[in-house]
Structure 1
Amino acid sequence: MSAAKRAVRAAAVLRRDAARDAAGSETASRIADRFFEAVPVPLQALIAGYVAMGSEADPAEVLARASAKGHVCALPRVARRDAPLDFLQWQPGDALVAGAHGTREPAPDARLCRPGIVLVPLLAFDAHGRRIGYGGGYYDRTLAALRREEPGILAVGIAFSAQEAEDLPEEEFDARLDWVVTETGARAFAAAPRGV
C-alpha cells in the first residue's frame, strides 16, 4: 500500500503544481465563495486552517472572511512526531513563527483550542472523500482524535479542482474528508469518518 501511495503522491504533486500555476489571482476568493455558499458553518464555530506551503490551495481568504464574521480561527502546530496536531488560536494579522517541516504557526504563547471545522491541505482527493497527504499521518491522527471526542467535527479539504483523482488507495487509519472545496464548487461526502 505504501508503494501505491508513493506513486500517487508523485503524480499528485505534479498535478497540483500545474493547477497552482494555472490558477488566476481570484482563485483563493472563489474557494472562499464556494466554502461559505455550501459548508454548514455554525454560529461561533472555531475554524482551523493552515498557512499554505508550496503549491497548496490557499485557505487565507476563508480564514479572513471567517474572522470578519466573528469566528475564532486557529492554525496547527506539530507538538510531537507521531502525535495529533495542536491548534493555536490565531487571527489574520497575528504574527507567525517558524514551525516543524517548514510550516508557519502562531507564537508559542497562543491559546490552545479545539476546532469544530478543520481545513485540510492535500495532494489529491477522490469522489469518496479519500485524500492523499504528505505521508506523515498528522491529519489522520488529528481527525481521528477529534472525532472520538466530538463526532460533529467537519474535515474540509481545500484544493484545486484539478487535484481530483480516481479511487485513491486507502488504509484503515486514513481519515476521510466530510467536504472538499475547490475554486469550482463544494462537495459533501457521506459516511466520511474513518480512521477513528
Structure 2
Amino acid sequence: MESQEITDLKSALRDVASKRREWAFALNPEAGHDLAEQFMHAIAISPGLAVSGYWPLEGELDVRPLLQKLRSFGHRIGLPIVVKRGEPLVFREWRDHDDMVEGKFKVMTPPDHAPEVIPEVLLVPLLAFDPNGYRLGYGGGFYDRTLDKLRHRAQLNGHRLPLAVGVAYAAQEVPDVPRGPYDQPLDWIVTERSVFKFS
C-alpha cells in the first residue's frame, strides 16, 4: 500500500506537471512527428511485434504519427480500453476501417468487436518522468497494473519481457518522481527532442 506522504507528493506534482505539459503543447502541438523520428532512429523493435499506443487527449503528445509508421511496417497496433477501476487495461486493434468510440474518461477507443491485442511494446502516456525511468501517471494505476501483469506473464512463460516506452514532451522531465511499491519502471523514454534508455 502506498503511504499517504507519497500520495500527497504525487498529487502536488500532478498539478505542476499538468501545467508544464500544457505549456509544451502550446509551443509545439505538432511534436508527435518529431517524436516519431526520435523513436524510429533510436529503438529497433523486431518485425511483427504488437505495439500499444493511445488516442491522445487534449494536451497529450500525439503518438498517432508514430503508430501509423509502425503499422506501415507490419506491426499490429492496440489502443487501451479501461475495463473498470483497479483492473489492468485491455487493448483492442486500431484498424483504418473501424470507427472509434468514446470509452471511459472520454478516451477514444476501437469498437468492442475489434480484436484484442497483447502488446509486446507499450507506448505509455505520462505527466512527468525522471532520470531513473519512473513516470507519474494520472492516478488510476492502470498502466502500472498492466505492466505488472504483462511482465509477470512473460516471466512465467519464459518469454521476452514487454518493452515499456514512456512518451512525453522534454519539458515533462523532473528531478525525481515520488514512487510507491507498485510503480513500474520504464525501459525507455522518448520525447520530441531526445531518447533515454534505462538498464
TM range (shorter): over 0.9
> What's the CA shift for 1:40?
2.5
Unaligned runs of 5+ in 2: 1-5, 155-159
Identity %: 38
> What's the CA shift for 1:24?
5.1
Alignment: residue pair count: 189
Any conservation in 1 of the 2:101–2:111 contact (CA below 8 Å)?
Answer: yes
Q: Distance in 1 between matches of 2:173 and 2:182?
A: 21
91, 95, 101: which one aligns with 2:95: 91
Q: Distance in 2 between matches of 1:86 and 1:180?
A: 22
Judging changes above 3 Å, is the alpha-carbon distance between structure 1 residues 42 and 170 closer, same or farther for their aligned structure 2 residues?
same
Q: Distance in 2 between matches of 1:187 and 1:22?
A: 22
Any conservation in 1 of the 2:79–2:94 contact (CA below 8 Å)?
Answer: yes
Moved over 3 A (4+): none
1:78 aligns with 2:62: no
Q: Distance in 1 between matches of 2:181 and 2:85?
A: 20
170, 189, 195: which one aligns with 1:180: 189
45, 48, 52: which one aligns with 1:44: 48
1:113 aligns with 2:117: yes
Per-residue deviation, residues 152-176 of structure 1 (Å, max 9, x unmatched): 2011111110100011101010011
* Partner SS, residue 180 of structure 1: strand
RMSD across aligned C-alpha pairs, in angstroms? Answer: 1.1
> What's the CA shift for 1:15?
0.4
User: Counterpart of 1:17 in structure 2: which amino acid?
Assistant: E
Unaligned runs of 5+ in 1: 191-196
Per-residue deviation, residues 44-68 of structure 1 (Å, max 9, x unmatched): 0111000010211111011000111
Match of 1:18? Answer: 23
Please give the TM-score of this superposition, normalised by the length of structure 2.
0.92
Please give the TM-score of this superposition, normalised by the length of structure 1.
0.93
